[in-house]
Amino acid sequence: MRNTRTLTRRAVLAAVSVTTALTLTACGNDSGDGGSGHASASSSSAASADATAAAHNAQDMAFAQGMIPHHQQALEMAKLAADRASSAQVKDLASRIEKAQDPEIKTMTGWLTSWGEESMPGMDHSGGSAMPGMMDGSDMGELEKASGKDFDTMFLTMMIEHHKGAVAMATTEKAKGEYGPATSLADAIITAQTTEITEMNKLLGKN
């Protein structure tokens, strides 16, 4: 009887020891997996942020910093059409330019913020600009004074040159930029503004 009880007690103790060992092992594995999972996610997130920051080059930065004031001037010109243009087609075109370019300004400003860069200071147009297609203070002053058909002709002529400048800047971005969203926007600008140049030439009777 004594031997039987001793064997039974040893069997129970062995079972308890095995159960305890398995439980500790399981806890250790859970903790290990959870810890490595969080660490892996954290590392992945940091790597992703680093990749985003490193995904752009100097050309991407120059494109955003240049195109923002370029677009802003186009918006200034387009807003004048509301009460100065005589042609409904010119007013419609100006409205479409506003709707397209205002969101693009916000997008590019967001890129610069994420890159830790600043936008160029606002353009006063007083001395012109090195950027292609930009109007100087005299051009803008003449446009502001014009109205009716004179405004229509001046607006279309100036906006064609302005669009050509934007297309040139966007073409450079497509060729030399590295940031995917920027080169995609550049492609969209080329497509949209080339189409609008054709439209404006037709309105001027050039096509």
Stronger pLDDT, 54 or 168, i.e. the higher one: 168
Other CB atoms within 10 A of residue 109 CB: 15
Contact (CB, 8 A) for 189 and 156: no
Contact (CB, 8 A) for 177 and 63: yes
Could you give the CA distance from residue 60 to residue 19 in angstroms, rounded to a whole number? 61
* 25 has pLDDT over 50: no
* 113 has pLDDT over 60: yes
* 21 has pLDDT over 50: no
Could you give the CA distance from residue 148 to residue 144 in angstroms, rounded to a whole number? 12
Could you give the CA distance from residue 83 to residue 126 in angstroms, rounded to a whole number? 24
Contact (CB, 8 A) for 136 and 89: no
Task: List the one residue out of 164, 172, 182 whose CA is nearest residue 104.
Answer: 182
Mean pLDDT of 58-86: 97
Any bridge partners for residue 85, and if so which?
A: 148
Is the pTM here over 0.85, yes or no? Answer: no
* 190 has pLDDT over 80: yes
Centroid of chain to Cα 24:
51
Could you give the CA distance from residue 97 to residue 192 in angstroms, rounded to a whole number? 10
Can you spell out the DSSP letters for 177-201? ---HHHHHHHHHHHHHHHHHHHHHH
Could you give the CA distance from residue 199 to residue 193 in angstroms, rounded to a whole number? 10
In three state form, how does the secondary structure of 101-143 look?
HHHHHHHHHHHHHHCCCCCCCCCCCCCCCCCCCCCCHHHHHHH
Of the chain, the percentage scoring pLDDT greater than 70 comes to: 68
Average pLDDT, the chain: 80
